[in-house]
Structure 1
Amino acid sequence: MKNLLNQLYARQPLSREAAYITLKRIANGEAAEPEIAAVVSAINMRPPHLSEIQGFRDAMLELAVPFELEGRPTIDIVGTGGDGKNTFNISTLSCFVVAGAGYPVTKHGSYGVSSNVGSSDVLQALGYQFSNDRDKLMADLDRAGICFLHAPLFHPAMKNVVPVRKSLRVRTFFNLLGPLINPARPRYQLFGTYDREVSRIYDYLLQGEENRDYLIVHALDGYDEISLTGGASVRGRRCQAIFYPDDFGLPELSPPSLYGGETPEEGKAIFLGVLEGNCTPEQLAVVSANAGLAIHVIHPERSLPDCVAEARESIESGRARNVLHKLLG
């Protein structure tokens, strides 16, 4: 570990193999908490490197509890977090909207670490019971059109990292890994990243996975999702463009309209408000935009405004709300 730290302190990138070995050592309990904190801090002090993300991802997927979909096409909508914007749970809500529109969702998420309320925080507040039992999750998927893969149950080897991340309370390279390690390996995915360079790394990693379709979003003002507060860089296998609110047929929003509260209970209230139609026009617009873009991943031949309209109809018809009721039932 000493040689590794010296390399990191010298700002030298780790090879893919070295990153893989490092993460496996951490997962296997071979590194003390101060050493883990030192590794995380050293990597945080410079931009991410492709070889490191590849190696860390290799190890995480190898160590994960498998979740086999047996060829069923599903989608996940997930952001890195760590953008410091403290928005409400837009990506998680968008998953319920997409499921309400008839597209199966395998959502991967966890507790908020660098943000106040993560997807697991709000679902737990709603009464959802986490599980990594495949039969139970497949039953959720069949009944509700969505299942939730709580990351700590699928990546138990990361229990050694949790205390360090909680104590640091800042964005780390684990934020970058989270969206890339959904054990379901969904056929479709909408990613959000807090940094444009991270978007490029994601795109490079995913270009070789020919059995997956995806889009990667980075709002130009720093959000890890379509915020409608300005333009957003969107890239994928067949797309590289800047999308503006007009492209979605929606108005530009102000950052305060996306505020997500400070506690899981506040997050829960906003979450239910959107699904029950008791939300602000801005909240409805931003969820419709992200859910619409996710539908566009599945149906790239459809226009963005048409996909947004399909998402909005899922909310206004009550179908998105029914997805939640079925999942909790």
Structure 2
Amino acid sequence: MLKNIISKLILNKDLSNLELNFLFNKIINAEINENLISAILTLISRNGYNYKNILVASKILRKKLIKVKVPKNSIDTCGTGGDGKHTLNVSTAAAIVLAGLGVNVVKHGNRSITSKCGSADVLEKLGINILDNKKNLEKKIKKDKFIFLFAPNYHLTMKNVANVRKNLPFKTIFNLLGPLINPGLIKRQIIGIFDKKLLVPYINVLKSLGHKKVWVFHSNEGLDEISIFNKTKVYELNNKKIKSFIINPKSIIKKKYNFKSILGKDAEYNSKKIVEIFNGKHNAFLEIVALNAAAGLVISEKESNLKKAYYKTKSYLLSGNAIEKINQLIK
């Protein structure tokens, strides 16, 4: 069966659900060698991702994950990564902002794979324990409103593809699976996607997985964040209904900023930039974090209007009070 599936992939033919289940189980369970896994992931990447292969793969991994008990209204800000822009850790900073404003945030993430600095890297550099055990984290979410779920600790089978992913010079389908396999099995998310062509299949996957309220977005300049520089296309899932709209930052943010000002470096540099804006330093990074956190307020239904939510998140950051949240998480 495997040879037949590989032949179909080479010819760019659609695989059935049965074939996809067989294939992804073989990959995830390490029943085939790394060279073959690498070739298969390369073919899938070349052929393009679609609703069917994302859904099948995510369902397999969701069955295998170690589940964490979290409040029902929790939110995640984990995006797909892989946009190649090497920006500062916007979604991670936005997650801490949301927690500071009373939203339960179950942040799912990993160390850097396709970027210079992953969410785990920057949180660790900030002094936050990224390796805390499950029991402690289930208590902490109630007290601190924020926990970080380090992906390798909850997806033990993913170690079987870790080396392959590290060695491939491009993003794979596993980039797309990260936000879909949060161990808290949360129902509310803001998710940046690295390719605008994937917005429609991705929002439909989230619908099939039973999510309640989600924004999936991609900006015109290719960011997997809501941009402060250019328009961002958003697809919203809200109680099984899907709609799309455009966020034009010019209608919210009056000042123009340079894209280079949000470029990141290593974990030490990125963590310093987070501390700066949490102490109230007003710059482009503060603005983009405020805007993305504002989307989180809308998704968590703390606010109904993005502009109003943005004023709230920006005011919170400018006050300098946000640094208290980081200090609390470090303790």
Q: Deviations over 1:283-307 (max 9, x none)?
A: 1111111001111122386322210
Contact 2:280 2:319 in 1 (8 A): no
- 1:283 matched to 2:247? The reply is no
Equivalent in the alignment of 1:265: 268
Q: 1:78 to 1:227 in 2, by over 3 A?
A: same
CA distance in 1, matches of 2:130, 2:289: 24
CA distance in 1, matches of 2:251, 2:209: 28
Equivalent in the alignment of 2:170: 170
- 1:180 matched to 2:184? The reply is no
Matches within 5 A, 1:168-317: 168-208=168-208, 212-237=212-237, 239-261=243-265, 263-278=266-281, 280-299=282-301, 302-317=304-319
Equivalent in the alignment of 2:48: 47
Equivalent in the alignment of 1:10: 11
Contact 1:101 1:310 in 2 (8 A): no
Q: Deviations over 1:137-169 (max 9, x none)?
A: 123212321000111111110101111111113
**Deviation of 1:57 (Å):** 0.5
CA distance in 2, matches of 1:324, 1:148: 13
What is the TM-score of this pair, normalised by structure 2?
0.93
Structure 2 SS opposite 1:129: coil
Greater mean alpha carbon deviation, residues 80-89 or residues 314-323: 314-323
CA distance in 1, matches of 2:148, 2:207: 26
Matches within 5 A, 1:146-157: 146-157=146-157
Identity %: 29
Contact 2:77 2:94 in 1 (8 A): yes
Equivalent in the alignment of 2:68: 67
Unaligned runs of 5+ residues in structure 2 are: none
Q: 1:131 to 1:16 in 2, by over 3 A?
A: farther
Structure 2 SS opposite 1:237: strand
Structure 2 SS opposite 1:48: coil
Greater mean alpha carbon deviation, residues 60-69 or residues 252-261: 252-261
**Deviation of 1:194 (Å):** 1.1
CA distance in 2, matches of 1:320, 1:65: 31
Amino acid corresponding to residue 24 of structure 2 in structure 1: L
CA distance in 2, matches of 1:302, 1:247: 17
Contact 1:144 1:324 in 2 (8 A): no
Matches within 5 A, 1:116-131: 116-131=116-131
CA distance in 1, matches of 2:211, 2:179: 17
Amino acid corresponding to residue 274 of structure 2 in structure 1: F
Equivalent in the alignment of 2:328: 326
Q: 1:8 to 1:210 in 2, by over 3 A?
A: closer
CA distance in 1, matches of 2:49, 2:256: 31
Tell me the number of residue pairs that the alignment of Structure 1 and Structure 2 aligns: 326
**Deviation of 1:132 (Å):** 6.2
**Deviation of 1:116 (Å):** 0.8
**Deviation of 1:130 (Å):** 2.8
CA distance in 1, matches of 2:186, 2:271: 26
Q: 1:137 to 1:318 in 2, by over 3 A?
A: farther
**Deviation of 1:317 (Å):** 3.4
Contact 1:98 1:314 in 2 (8 A): no
Contact 1:100 1:320 in 2 (8 A): yes
Structure 2 SS opposite 1:102: coil
Amino acid corresponding to residue 310 of structure 1 in structure 2: K
Q: Deviations over 1:61-107 (max 9, x none)?
A: 011111122x5311111211110000000000000011111111000
CA distance in 1, matches of 2:251, 2:133: 41
Q: 1:210 to 1:179 in 2, by over 3 A?
A: closer
Amino acid corresponding to residue 129 of structure 1 in structure 2: N
Matches within 5 A, 1:85-104: 85-104=85-104
CA distance in 1, matches of 2:211, 2:158: 28
Greater mean alpha carbon deviation, residues 316-325 or residues 194-203: 316-325
CA distance in 2, matches of 1:189, 1:250: 27
Greater mean alpha carbon deviation, residues 22-31 or residues 185-194: 22-31
Q: Deviations over 1:261-317 (max 9, x none)?
A: 1x2111221122221224x52111111110011111223863222100111233233
Q: 1:210 to 1:177 in 2, by over 3 A?
A: closer
> CA RMSD of the aligned region, Å?
1.8
Structure 1 SS opposite 2:5: helix
